[in-house]
Amino acid sequence: MTPASLLTPLVSRVPALAAPCRMHRSVYAIEAAVIDWTRRTGLCVDRSSACHRLAARAFAEFDARAAALFAQWLTWLFHLDDLVDEAGQPYPRLFEGNGAHPLEAAFTDLWRATSATMSDDWRLRFATNLQRQADACGVEADNRAGGKVPTIEEYPVLRRGTAGPFLYDLVEPCLGVEVPPELAADEPWLALVEACADVAAWCNDLVSLSKERGDAHNFVVVVTHELGVSEPEAAEWVLDRIAARCADMRAAARRLPLDTLPPKIARDVSKVACAYLTAPRAHLDWATESERYT
């Protein structure tokens, strides 16, 4: 059994996940853009993760520039995640403010390309979510040092923080649009983003379970520890919650007040929401073809 096969039951449980995502017709150009950027910024080229294929599926209906920019951000996040989780380097020390670390230099390059056309409201939202990740990684580090296993109640919020919450803000500059600040702070939008984040993070927990042996920060491990069930039973429990969060995501999208917005803004918001709704199946397809978790 491959790690990605743990996600297979979702295809029959969640109607929205039944059909595979279309692949962007410029997938190879997207891959080339990511490789060129990675080399230029001093990061290691990681072909096994295939970030370009995840972005090419999630942004299949949009231009190649959008997919390439998102794939570059994914590449940056994966490098950061591996450094924190596998090399054990504390998150806050990665950025010394002098641009010497390749991750900092790569971030500066991406930030310059991404934020140029965005408002101060969007920049603050992004910065807040980037800090959320740093704070959540700090909590994880403290848990590991103290041998603490998060509870089922604590874990979703913590995981939402460590899984790169700023990624969901990046959909807007990738598509060249912006969600109005009042809508971005409204309950239906937050519910949509959080449900999408939970689905992606918990699916990732399932496929990365064998790779992360010994780490308590995995929903299957948390459930096994708290409920006293076997690992397969815990995985089934997590699958049930993923299916429920997929339903929550679509319900939140239906509650967006699009009819109260000016037509152009409503179209822009719809583009972002559609990208979120596409993300779970794009992630599922990517997990079956990426070598990141094998």
SS3 123: helix
Residue 118, in any domain of the structure: yes
Q: Output the six-digit token pair for 39.
A: 């080399």
Residue 294, in any domain of the structure: no
Per-residue pLDDT tens digits for 92-104: 455 556 656 788 8
Residue 135, in any domain of the structure: yes
Q: Give a three-class secondary structure readout of 258-287.
A: HHHCCHHHHHHHHHHHHHHHHHHHHHHHHH
d(CA 122, CA 114): 11
Residue 179, in any domain of the structure: yes
Residue 74, in any domain of the structure: yes
- Domain CATH number, residue 137: 1.10.600.10
| Torsion sign over Cα 169, 172, 173, 174 | positive
Q: What's the count of helices (H) and strands (E) in the chain, helices before strands? A: 13, 0
Q: Among residues 25, 56, 29, 31, which one has the least CA distance to residue 45?
A: 31
Res 248: pLDDT: 97
| Torsion sign over Cα 68, 167, 92, 216 | negative
Which residue ranges in the chain fall short of pLDDT 70?
1-3, 85-100
Domain extent for 67: 3-289
Residue 200, in any domain of the structure: yes
| Residue showing tokens 């990684």 | 137
Show Cβ contacts of residue 276 under 8 Å, excluding neighbours closer than 6 positions. 168, 171, 192, 193, 196, 249, 253
Res 94: pLDDT: 56
Predicted structure pTM score = 0.92
Q: Among residues 130, 117, 25, 136, which one has the least CA distance to residue 73?
A: 130
Percent of the chain scoring above 90 in pLDDT: 76
d(CA 165, CA 172): 14
Q: Among residues 273, 121, 272, 124, which one has the least CA distance to residue 182?
A: 121
Domain count, the chain: 1
d(CA 221, CA 284): 21
**What is the chain's length?**
294
Res 211: pLDDT: 77
Res 1: pLDDT: 59
Residue 205, in any domain of the structure: yes
Residue 280, in any domain of the structure: yes
Q: Output the six-digit token pair for 170.
A: 């990046």
Are 219 and 202 contacting, i.e. CB atoms less than 8 angstroms apart? yes
Query: What is the full DSSP assignment across 189-207?
Result: HHHHHHHHHHHHHHHHHHH
Res 215: pLDDT: 85
